[in-house]
Structure formats: structure tokens, C-alpha cells
Structure 1
Amino acid sequence: MESPPKHKMGTLQLTIITVVNMMGSGIIMLPAQLAGVGNITIISWVLTSMGAMALAYGFAKCGRYSKNIGGMGGYSQYAFGKSGNMLANYTYAVAIVIANVGVAISAVGYFCKVVDIEIGGITTALMTMFFIWLTTLPNFWSSKITGKIGTVTVWGVIIPVIGIIFIGWYWFKSDIYVAGWNPHQLGFFDALPQALALTMWAFLGLESASANSDAVENPEKSVPIAVLGGTLFTAIVYIMSTAVIGGIIPYETLAISSAPFGLVYAHMFGDGVGKFIEIIMCIACLGSLLTWQFTTGQVFKSCADVGYFYKIFGRVTKRGAPVMGLVIICLIQSAFLLMSITPSFNREFNVIVDFSVVIDLVPYILCMSACSTIMKSSDDYKAGKIKHSKLVLVGVVCFLANAYTLYAMYSSGSEALVYGSLVTFAGWIIFGRYMSSQLNINATSTTEKVVQK
């Protein structure tokens, strides 16, 4: 029996990465972002949690029965061929490159709150670049380094958030919560879309276990556990913590905060405790960025391995780290920052959220649509181990997941949809060039054989 690869992570580390990728970039800033709409967003949390669990269930089945490498691209290939593989990985890669900039901006916002400084657009961009490069360096070693660091930094989110859930009710006031329920008197179907894109952003990362399947021991077992367990845990935490905070801090104060958890702890225990929470949450945000950069490198490597991206993204060190690819990704993110300088943290964060959500949901749709095909292509189905009733259940859940995903795209707004569509359509242009290059390779190979004869 072969021993597992030395530098691959286990189920626990994969689950932690999944949780960190969701919580680190989501819950840290969202209480303030959602306060701008009101506490009515709790309904969006519930709806998004249900949609996220449906997606997680579909991804768990994909991970259980798929034999293809390449994460979501490999899943999509079962139903959509090479074009589906390329489009899934391409859109996911673009989405997380952009989304990581948003995570880094969140870290800068918390850091500025910790040191009590106000900075302008250029300084913000430079600090964000610094954090991006800082959190990429540990990924030059191996996947286990990322898992170990994520194991430590995740507590910077978990401890304050769990603390709010258990002790925050003592400071909870129903009149504050009611006053912030729907302060702008929005209609239900007006308020729901405004919050849906933000809550979906918080769950982006549930697919991290699938995206990192090539870097984990026993992916058929580890991926389903990580994606379902991590998503369920995160959903409970999101709903409970935001509900409590909405009854402690008035919505108008919460909405303008760049460090909402520091604000609520300062209200409960004083400025010293609030400052400490800001520090550990800043570290946790950097930990989230670390794991997201790792995921980005793995996605680009997977695309390069099958020929959709330049081969330089697939080059790895002896420890399996795609160093050159990570450097190029950081350069792209730095250029993106310089082109999108804005003096407002919240404005840039919201734009990035909407844009990345639209693009990131494209591979979700492809994977959910391919799930039944994956199961029917498996050895278990051919051996008669998968009952028809199970196939029907998976088909229904994946259909509901897709319905929710389409609505989340719509909720991101027309501008994000337009730009997201243009980026997606550009993927077919790239795929067309890839197919052309493959024909050239095949033609060259055939010519060489003829010459040899």
C-alpha cells in the first residue's frame, strides 16, 4: 500500500481552509455592510444559508464520485467537455484573483482601525499590495504550511464571533433591533436583493475543498466532509452573530464602522478589549487571505496542467508549490489595485463583492448541472450501488442550488452582470485559441510521424 504524499493536507486542515476562506473574508466586515440595509437582512442570511447548503451538498456528491483532477473544472467536464472544464476554472480563477483584493482591503481597514490612522487612496493601494505579497510568501513552501497557519489564525475569527453568540445576548436590546429592522422602509423584494449578494459573498469559499482536491490526501472522503461540515458550521455562526450584533449597536453607528466586531466588544467591555479584538481579527483576515492565495495558485496550476493556462502556472517546486504562478498572480492583483484606486473602503469593497460574486457563480452553475452526470459515470452507478431515488434527490437539490445561484447573480446588479458577462464571454475567446493551438500540436505530431516513415 502506497503512503500518502508527504506534503499533502488532511481532512481537518481542508475543513479549516474551507471555514477560513468563508469566515475570514465574510463575517469580519459584513455586520457593518448589512447594517446599511437593516436587520431585515436576517431573511437573506437564512435564504443564502439554504442555498449554500444545497450547493455544498452538490459539491460533496461531485467530490465523492468524480475521478477527474482539477476541482470544479474536472467536475464540469463530465457534462460540458473541455470547454466546461476551461470555463469553470477560468471564471473561478478570475473571480478569486479579484475577490482576494477585497479580502486584502478588509485587512487594511482593520489594520488602520488598530493603529488609529486614516489613509488616502494611493496609500490604501500600497498597503493592500503589501498584505497581498506578505500572505503569499508562506505558500512558497507547501500546502501543509498554509494549513498550519490557517489552523492558528482562524481562532482570531472564531473566538470573537462565538463569544458574541454566547455572551452578547446580555447587551442585546430588542428596541435597538426593531429600530434597525427596516430603517429605510424598503419593500421585501427590494431589501432582499440588496443583501443577497453580500450574504452570498460570505459563503464564497464553500467550494474551496473541491478547488484544493489535488492537494489533499484521500479526496473522495475528505472533500465531502470538508464542504458540508464547513458550510453548516459557518451558516450557524453567520446567522446567530449578526442577529446579536443588530440588537447591541444601533444600525446607523454600525453601518459606518470599518471594524464592526471591535466596535461591539468595545461597547461591551471597553476600548481596550475592543482594540484587542481588532488586532486578532486583522490577523485572522490575513490568515484568510493566505488560504485564498493558496487556493488561487492551485486553480491556476490545475488550469495549466490541462493546458488551458500558460505552463508557467503549472511549474512547481520540490514541495509542490507553484511559486512562479503565485508571483504572477500577485503582479496582476497589484496592477488591478493601481487601476481601481478609490478613497472609500466601503465603496471599493462593495464593487469588488458584486463583480466577483457574478463571475464566481458561473462554475457553481456548471458543477451543479454536471452532478448527475458525474454520478452516472461512476463505478458505483455501473455496479448498481446508486439507487434511482438517490439520483432524483441529487437532481432536485442541484436544481434548487442553481435556481438560488441565478437569483444571487441577478441580485448583484446590472453593472456587475454586464462586466461579469463580458469576462465570462472572453473565456470562450481564450478557449478558441487553446483549441487552435491543440490542432497545431496534433498537426505537427502527424507530420513528424510521416517524415519518420
Structure 2
Amino acid sequence: MGSTKTKMNVWQLTMITAINMIGSGLIMLPADLAQVGTMSILSWIITTIGATALAYGFARCGMFSKRDGGMGGYSEYTFGKSGNFMANYGYAIACTIANVAIAVTIVGYALTFLGIKLSPAMNTACVILVVWLTTIPNFFSAKITGIIGSFTIWGIIGPVIIFCIIGWFWFSPSLFAASWNPHHLGLFHGISQSISITLWAFLGLESASANMEAVENPQRDVPIACLGGTIGAGIIYIVSTSIIQGIVPGHLLANSNAPFGLVFATMFTPLVGKIVTGIMVLACFGSLLAWQFTLGQVFKSSAGQNYFPKIFKKVSKKDVPVVGLVILCILQSLFALLTISPTLNKEFETIVNLSIVTNMIPYVLSMAAVPVIQKCAGIKGKSALIPSIITFLAGVYSLYAMYTSGAQAMLYGGVVALFGWTLYGALANRFEKENDLLNKDFK
């Protein structure tokens, strides 16, 4: 156990939590939100509250769970080995899909940077190319991948924070008001239209409790950092997307493949916009490079627990799951082909909605596990009741987010979930002894 001098304080942990969420998921959102109008700020507020409740739930899980395996370990408290499997399965599928969405973002910004327009088929071909280009370098050096990913993320965070500070000088309240509800949607329908797309920006909040062993006072600091980091990220999201809709007319923003490049071009000159666009292309590329490596590790870890085929845990001399990464690349390429859309914005929205639905599987399972985790840790009375209520509401919010993703995403997500249960049925015999031991723990 390290000295407190070498550990993070609550402010440092809060900053890391926020930075883990603010990334490539944000920079395409203004275009999608512009299709709803500036009333999407209401969706941001609701999503920030829901995401904060989820972050609090994960903080409780991280503080009191004695099981390894992250969300799978949390879910096992209430749902046994099948819950552990489904949490790992849902998260792995969600990450696979989400990486394709990041690839779409890279292509959108890159084509804008180059001033090129392509057909839907060529757009998809470029997405597939990016998927492979960000995977192959991971075959050779995990260390370089980590360095590139941790450095390039600032190519996204830097411009966004600068924009949040100086963008107000170009902000037009009248333009913001005029774009409030361009399609005359009902209040509930208008809010629901953008709930799933705003939650996309918060995905990764489950990692907020991952660093609890590196902080001075985890019982106090982890909940503060989880809540503070999520609220801080939410403020940046609300401010940045609201300002941009008060600078760029909604119809231009809604059709842009690089909304932050467009707004910097509007504020300054086309050259400045192009420079920002280019920086974000490189930043997203580095981000996806790191996420592809992480995805390989997620499948490798699950294969090590006998949840996925053994081929995913096969590693090279450099301890890289090369074969697994190749298989995942093929799956992502097929998925990109299945989601070809008239525009990159539409393709991004389709992929994000399905990613949300699959990502909510481990979220709902983890939130439902909090009461049992607290009971096993000896937490009683109000100390257990209030967190249980908050995490129950977080679970309800997760279901609402799934609903707002649309019928198509729910249909495909339902098929993915049912296939997961079918797959677990084929593997259940592997865990029979472990389930018996688990049941004895609660007798």
C-alpha cells in the first residue's frame, strides 16, 4: 500500500474522472443536437442528472464490492454468474459498436478537412479503413499506444475548453432562441429525441471508481470525484453545445460533418476552422487507437474467465491478442456495412443508439446489485436506503435512455441481449461449481 504522499487527492481524481468522459464522443454531438433544436439543452440537464446518479452507483459498487471484474463482478452479487457474463458481454459488444462510431467521427472530420464529399458506400469504405488503421499499430507496441492516446486526447479537450471560454463573445441569444424548436415537437418528444445522443457523451463514467486504490481517502474522495467529475463534464457539454448553437445557424450545423471546425471557421477564418478540424482528426485517431487496444483487452479478459472463445486470449510474443483484434476488426467492418446511411451524421446516430442500448445492459445490472453489495458489506439503515433509492432511479433512467434510442435500436439490442442469454446457456456448465459456491455465500 503506497504512501499518501504518492496518492492522488480528491481534486486530481475528479479531473481524471471528467477527462475520461470528455473525448471523441462529444465532437459530433452538436450536429445531431441541431436536428432537434436548442431545446436539447433540456436533454443535457436530464442526462447529467441521470449520469450523476449512475456515477454515484458505480462509486458505491467500487467502494464495497469484494469481487474482481468491474461491472461483471458487481452484477454477480445479485444475478450470479449469468449476470457477470451478461455484464461482460453487453459491455464488450457496446465497446465494439462504439469504436465504429468513433471511426465515423474521424471520417467526417477528415473529409471536411480535405474538402471532399463521397458517396455513402465510399464513406463506409473509409470508416472500415480507419478501423483497420487504428488496430494494426496495436499489434506491435502497447506502450506506444498508451502514450499516443493519453497525449492526443488533449487535441479534443483543448479546443473544446478554449471554445467554452471565448465562444460567448460570438454568441447570439436571438439565434439560440430562434432555433429552440424548429420542428415544433412536443416537449416530452423533443427531450426524448436527444436523450440517447447526450448519454453517449457520458459513457465511460463507470471507470470513475477504477482508481480508488490510488487516492488518499477512498470512502470520502471516490463519491466526491464521481459526482464532481460527472457534473463537471456535464457543464462542459451543456456550455459547448449551447454556445455553438448560438453561433452557427441550425440548418448549417445539422448538416455538418465537423461541427467544431465549422464554428471555429465562423468565429475566425476558414483556415482556423481547418486547423482545428485537422487537430481533432489526429486526436480522434489517437483516441480510437487506444480504444481498439482496450477492446482487445476486454475480450481477452472475458475469454480468460471462460465467457468468450479461447481464441480471444491467445497473445503474441509481445503479449498482444493479435488474433482477437483481427476478429474484432472483421466484426466492426461488417457492422459498418450493415449501418450504411445516406449521410455520416445519420450513420453516427444509428450506431450511437445501438451502442447505448447494449451499454445499458451492464449499467442496469450493476445498479440493481447495489443493495446486495451494501448488505454484504454490512451497510444498514439510511446509509444503505438512500443509495439504494438513487441507484434504483439510475436504473430507471437507463431504461428510459434505451427507450429513447428508438424502435430499431431496441429491436437490434433486444436480439443482441437474447443471443447473449443463448450463448450463456451453451457455456453454463463451465460455471456450475462456481454458482454452487456463490449460493453458499448467501445462505
For the aligned pair, the TM-score class normalised by the smaller chain equals 0.7 to 0.9
Q: Secondary structure at the match of 2:168?
A: helix
Q: Secondary structure at the match of 1:46?
A: helix
Aligned residues: 428
2-structure distance, mates of 1:60, 1:140: 34
Matches within 5 A, 1:126-275: 126-140=125-139, 145-209=144-208, 213=210, 227-228=226-227, 230-275=229-274
- Over 3 Å counting, the alpha-carbon distance change for 1:12 and 1:305 in structure 2 is farther
Matches within 5 A, 1:424-439: 424-436=417-429
Deviates more, 1:396-405 or 1:222-231: 222-231
**1:335 Cα shift?**
2.3
TM-score, normalization: structure 1? 0.86
**1:306 Cα shift?**
1.4
1-structure distance, mates of 2:326, 2:416: 22
1-structure distance, mates of 2:224, 2:299: 24
**1:319 Cα shift?**
6.0
Are 2:384 and 1:391 aligned?
yes
- Over 3 Å counting, the alpha-carbon distance change for 1:117 and 1:353 in structure 2 is same
Q: 5+ unaligned residues in a row in structure 2: which ranges?
A: 4-9, 434-443
1-structure distance, mates of 2:299, 2:212: 17
- Asked if structure 1 preserves the Cα contact closer than 8 Å seen for 2:160 and 2:240, the reply is yes
Are 2:393 and 1:400 aligned?
yes
Matches within 5 A, 1:33-48: 33-48=32-47
2-structure distance, mates of 1:392, 1:400: 13
Q: 5+ unaligned residues in a row in structure 1: which ranges?
A: 4-10, 441-453
Residues 274-322 of structure 1: CA deviation (Å, up to 9, x unaligned) = 0011011112222332232233223212221211101222234576543
Q: Secondary structure at the match of 2:116?
A: coil
1-structure distance, mates of 2:349, 2:370: 32
- Over 3 Å counting, the alpha-carbon distance change for 1:35 and 1:112 in structure 2 is same
**1:71 Cα shift?**
1.6
- Over 3 Å counting, the alpha-carbon distance change for 1:321 and 1:64 in structure 2 is farther
Equivalent residue for 2:283? 284
- Over 3 Å counting, the alpha-carbon distance change for 1:30 and 1:139 in structure 2 is same
- Asked if structure 2 preserves the Cα contact closer than 8 Å seen for 1:19 and 1:234, the reply is yes
- Asked if structure 1 preserves the Cα contact closer than 8 Å seen for 2:31 and 2:345, the reply is no
1-structure distance, mates of 2:232, 2:316: 35
**1:154 Cα shift?**
1.5
TM-score, normalization: structure 2? 0.88
Q: Which residue identity is paired with 2:409?
A: A
Q: Which residue among 397, 409, 419 is the counterpart of 1:416? A: 409
Q: Which residue identity is paired with 2:202?
A: F
Equivalent residue for 2:67? 68
- Over 3 Å counting, the alpha-carbon distance change for 1:126 and 1:405 in structure 2 is same
2-structure distance, mates of 1:144, 1:374: 35
Aligned residues with identical type, % of pairs: 52
**1:328 Cα shift?**
1.7
1-structure distance, mates of 2:392, 2:16: 27
**1:250 Cα shift?**
1.2
Residues 82-130 of structure 1: CA deviation (Å, up to 9, x unaligned) = 0000111111111221121111011101000011111223332232122
- Over 3 Å counting, the alpha-carbon distance change for 1:2 and 1:208 in structure 2 is closer
- Asked if structure 1 preserves the Cα contact closer than 8 Å seen for 2:55 and 2:208, the reply is no
**1:414 Cα shift?**
1.7
* CA RMSD, 1 decimal: 3.1
Q: Secondary structure at the match of 1:38?
A: coil
**1:272 Cα shift?**
0.9
Deviates more, 1:285-294 or 1:151-160: 285-294
Q: Secondary structure at the match of 2:352?
A: helix
Q: Which residue identity is paired with 2:80?
A: G
2-structure distance, mates of 1:187, 1:45: 17
Are 2:84 and 1:85 aligned?
yes
Q: Which residue identity is paired with 1:406?
A: L
Q: Secondary structure at the match of 1:39?
A: coil
**1:42 Cα shift?**
0.2
- Over 3 Å counting, the alpha-carbon distance change for 1:339 and 1:177 in structure 2 is closer
- Asked if structure 1 preserves the Cα contact closer than 8 Å seen for 2:339 and 2:350, the reply is no
- Asked if structure 1 preserves the Cα contact closer than 8 Å seen for 2:139 and 2:320, the reply is yes
1-structure distance, mates of 2:248, 2:166: 15
Q: Which residue identity is paired with 1:434?
A: L
- Asked if structure 2 preserves the Cα contact closer than 8 Å seen for 1:20 and 1:288, the reply is no
Equivalent residue for 2:439? none
